[in-house]
Structure 1
Amino acid sequence: MGLPNIVVEFLTKANTAITRSERGIVCLVISDTTKESRITEYKSISDVVETDWSEENLKIIKETFLDGPSKVYVARVKTEETLTNIEKDLDLIKINWITHVNNDQTEIVEYVKKRNLKGGSAAIKAVVFNQAANDTHIVNFTNVKVTRSDGAEVDGYKYLGRITGMLAALPLDRSATYYTFPDLASVQEPEKPGEAVDAGEFVLFNDYGTVKAARGVNSATTTEKEDLKKITIIEGMDLMKEDIIETFKNQYVGKYKNNLDNQSVFVAAINTYFRQLGMSGVLNPDFANLAAIDIEKQRNAWADAGTTEALDWDDETVKKTPFKSYVYMRANVQFSDAIEDLEFSVYMN
């Protein structure tokens, strides 16, 4: 009776993919000595006790909430401390996006890379200031100065909370490209914005009275696939990975015998999930987004374990002979990018 629960779980996750993606969880790390508390959870700006923070940090916290992330954890480090002092505390909370409002950005880069290397279902992403991290999960914001709408000019790194909150609240049915920041009057642009974007920098530019994001790219520069430089693509990949792993753990692991029938139900459930993601625009609906049992991996697993005759099995025999407790799967999908570029040729007769 349990197997249909997998289908229901995947359908629920697919149908809520857009709304879930626009309600991301932020962790804002700031230096503050006003109170002793380490990590404070806020679900809305109204939860913030203003006297708990310095005036400058309060402004940063409020900016982080402007676009409506679902939750903001504010992690407090003392003046003499570094990020390493609270790493164990950070490891205990689930977050989607993190930033450290600080001059020294090396530790946050190291933390994100280290945490993501541990695996798990949920990858974290970071917004850093002027750090060429070359990582698909790290966004490198590089505007040296920004001027708020009230005329106050601040260093770019003090705007990290605002950028992070925006990206956490951005739904998967659009990208950060040309996102408008009405709370800014102007920014100090890089000398060559186009080259900055090509170098993996997330930059803002002045556009006739408004401030916009040039292009929604992360800091990756050496990846062979251009799509992996797009924030929106990585967000979609992370959401899909988390949904599949969490559903597998919660609805499948330990509950069913490892045979072809049960594996096939799981494959069918994932393909239903893919179809729904196509209908919502996360995946390209015109592409054959399909998952299947990875026959070659399963065959090689038997061969590596000493059953060399598996190399001569036909595909159907391999599928009917699962390897111990393992489910080997593969998928071929195409994520939908946002409309960002136009080529328009006009011919005159």
Structure 2
Amino acid sequence: MGLPEINIIFKTKGLTAIQRSERGIVAVILKDDTEGGQPVSIYKSILDVDFSQFTQRNYEYLKLLYEGGPYKVIVVKVPTTTESLSPWLKKLRDLKWNYLTVPGITEDEKTLVSAWIKEEREKDHKTFKAVLPECVADHEGIINLTTGNIQSTLGGEAFSTAEYCARIAGVLAGLSLARSSTYFVLSDIVSADVPDDPDERIDKGELVIVFDSEKYKIGRGVNSLTTFTAEHGEEFSKIKIMEGVDLYQDDIRSTFEDAYVGKVINDYDNKQAFVAAIIAYQKSLEGNVLDRSFDNTAAVDIDQQRLYIEGKGIDTTDMSDIDIAKYNTGSKVFISSHVKFVDAMEDLSLVCNM
């Protein structure tokens, strides 16, 4: 069954989580009628881009993206007369990426993209995120940039809020999970319309750019989520936390699909082996992704197994937890984990006693 090999896969993914997160993937939709190139292209470096296939402005957007150091960029090149982005979003759905940006986005397209990201995350559990301008989405998958009129060394004319989303997407994709995007210095900015009320705007789920009298930087790494629930607390509004959550979800799902589905018998021993692999993976994330002082655990989900058994009309009153755990659940695998994600240092309260 290759279980030792599977354990190695989990361990490797955990140990390389930080390095992998430093090199994320950005998808960008560019409206361009310039001849040449493919509708969908993947570039690992700005040097791979044939600038003759794009307008000067679109090439500047790509420079904004690559300044953040993403692993690669998926470029979807669409005609300027495109009436709907829906067909192009469908193409992106089957590809792997972390952040989406559309520098030339319209108000109608912004509504479409925001709704699509929410649907993909909630319905199909995709870990897509988008950086959008002036988008009050109230959702962890949407980063709402609200600073505009940005003069940058990476472009000629000033960049609008929508255009500069490309720079933010590149930064977020390139950042290590060892830090957050809060106070990330945007060294390319010469001037920008920074807000007079950054604290209030951040509380409203806005990602703003601030100036500290010397340099321009991201005020705080937050997404647009402002409505909190028991399942989605305030921590879900932090971009770093969501990066960890998405990484955790992607790693476990992809490993299960690639190494377990159809290849491993679904009995109690193999379920426990899978749990052990998850626990080992969690251990390797402790420090930069998971809180090392927390008891990060995983186990066969007794409650879900009990519901499965009772769903078959069987009375479980006299069954012990071990009986429940060992019960044959067909092809169903019920696992629960209890973990705590860790944030970066951002807020200081210093009491100086004299």
TM-score class normalised by the smaller sequence:
over 0.9
Contact (CA 8 Å) 1:136, 1:228: kept in 2 or not?
yes
Corresponding residue number in structure 2 for 1:97: 99
Aligned residues: 345
Percent of paired sites with the same residue: 38
Residue 214 of structure 2 is aligned to residue 212 of structure 1: no
| One-letter code aligned to 1:215 | R
CA displacement, residues 158-196 of structure 1 (integer Å, 9 cap, x when unaligned): 111111011011111100000001100122122311010
| One-letter code aligned to 2:307 | N
Residue 280 of structure 2 is aligned to residue 275 of structure 1: no
Corresponding residue number in structure 2 for 1:142: 146
Contact (CA 8 Å) 1:69, 1:169: kept in 2 or not?
yes
| One-letter code aligned to 1:136 | E
C-alpha distance in 1 between matches for 2:165 and 2:306: 49
C-alpha distance in 2 between matches for 1:93 and 1:252: 22
Corresponding residue number in structure 2 for 1:30: 30
Corresponding residue number in structure 1 for 2:307: 300
CA displacement, residues 277-323 of structure 1 (integer Å, 9 cap, x when unaligned): 11x5211111100001111110111102211x223311111111132
Corresponding residue number in structure 1 for 2:159: 154
C-alpha distance in 1 between matches for 2:201 and 2:303: 43
Relative distance call for 1:85 and 1:297 in structure 2 (3 A) is closer
| One-letter code aligned to 1:89 | K
| One-letter code aligned to 2:25 | I
C-alpha distance in 2 between matches for 1:291 and 1:85: 40
Alignment partner for residue 287 of structure 1, among 291, 294, 298? 294
Q: How far does residue 137 in structure 1 lie from its aligned partner after superposition?
A: 1.0
| One-letter code aligned to 2:251 | D
C-alpha distance in 2 between matches for 1:256 and 1:14: 22
Alignment partner for residue 350 of structure 2, among 340, 344, 347? 344
Residue 329 of structure 2 is aligned to residue 323 of structure 1: yes
C-alpha distance in 2 between matches for 1:87 and 1:336: 32
C-alpha distance in 2 between matches for 1:97 and 1:168: 7
C-alpha distance in 2 between matches for 1:107 and 1:256: 41
Contact (CA 8 Å) 1:299, 1:311: kept in 2 or not?
no
C-alpha distance in 1 between matches for 2:75 and 2:292: 39
Q: How far does residue 245 in structure 1 lie from its aligned partner after superposition?
A: 0.8
Contact (CA 8 Å) 1:99, 1:108: kept in 2 or not?
no
| One-letter code aligned to 2:99 | W
Relative distance call for 1:130 and 1:213 in structure 2 (3 A) is same
CA displacement, residues 5-29 of structure 1 (integer Å, 9 cap, x when unaligned): 2210110000100011111111111
Corresponding residue number in structure 2 for 1:16: 16
Q: Which runs of 5+ in 1 are unaligned?
A: none
Corresponding residue number in structure 2 for 1:73: 74
Q: How far does residue 147 in structure 1 lie from its aligned partner after superposition?
A: 1.7
C-alpha distance in 2 between matches for 1:135 and 1:211: 26
Corresponding residue number in structure 2 for 1:46: 47
After TM superposition, list the pairs within 5 Å mapping 1:109-124 onto structure 2.
109-120=114-125, 122-124=126-128
C-alpha distance in 2 between matches for 1:32 and 1:85: 16
Q: Which range moves more in the overlay, 148-157 or 259-268?
A: 148-157
1:28 aligned counterpart, secondary structure? strand
C-alpha distance in 2 between matches for 1:38 and 1:253: 34
| One-letter code aligned to 1:76 | K
C-alpha distance in 1 between matches for 2:158 and 2:124: 40
2:256 aligned counterpart, secondary structure? helix
1:163 aligned counterpart, secondary structure? helix
| One-letter code aligned to 2:288 | G
Relative distance call for 1:275 and 1:125 in structure 2 (3 A) is same
| One-letter code aligned to 2:43 | Y
Q: After the TM superposition, list the runs of 4 or more consecutive aligned residues in structure 1 that deviate by more than 4 angstroms.
A: none
CA displacement, residues 143-165 of structure 1 (integer Å, 9 cap, x when unaligned): 13212147843312111111101
Contact (CA 8 Å) 1:30, 1:74: kept in 2 or not?
yes
1:145 aligned counterpart, secondary structure? coil
